[in-house]
Structure 1
């Protein structure tokens, strides 16, 4: 069963990242206030990005990955800024990076 990871922009400018096996239905649910608590309090919402996967579990995994990203990194993904994505993925903590060679 196919799956989608998607990012919505809420009316307050915040982003919501989710996954589903029926993108059209899920967007309708969000728009009707039947989605997540985050989106139902911030209507209207609009779809600003999505990725399609062969399996729903892959979409769910990608959702969890992207949910942990900063706003800037999500925006680099949505704008297809590969170099910026790489830069934002680099370790910025000197102590943590000490062992990276």
Structure 2
């Protein structure tokens, strides 16, 4: 294993206003993969528009656990999580233009 390698849990905002939580070693590259339709099944249908949140971990297991916890929460709990990370609801509300 590489020294100082980081693992990331991330949250995407999708074009229908839904959230997608994932795991990667490169958030930017993974976001572009999702945008191209080659990411996960979910993001093929619910296209991501932005990265709302990412958190780095030194251990892969910890990042995967964060992803699991996020994915198994209700929408309200996910919003509360994002707010505790300093995000405001306007950051995940899509404009109707």
Q: How many residues align?
A: 81
1:44 offset after TM fit, Å? 4.1
Verify the 8 A CA contact 2:21 2:70 in the aligned structure 1: yes
Which one has the largest radius of gyration? 1
Verify the 8 A CA contact 1:10 1:43 in the aligned structure 2: yes
Match for residue 75 of structure 2?
71
Greater fraction helix: 1
Aligned equivalents of 2:10, 2:38: Cα separation in 1? 16
| TM-score (normalised: structure 2) | 0.76
Unpaired runs of at least 5, structure 2: 86-97
For the aligned residue pairs, the C-alpha RMSD in angstroms reads 1.4
| TM-score (normalised: structure 1) | 0.73
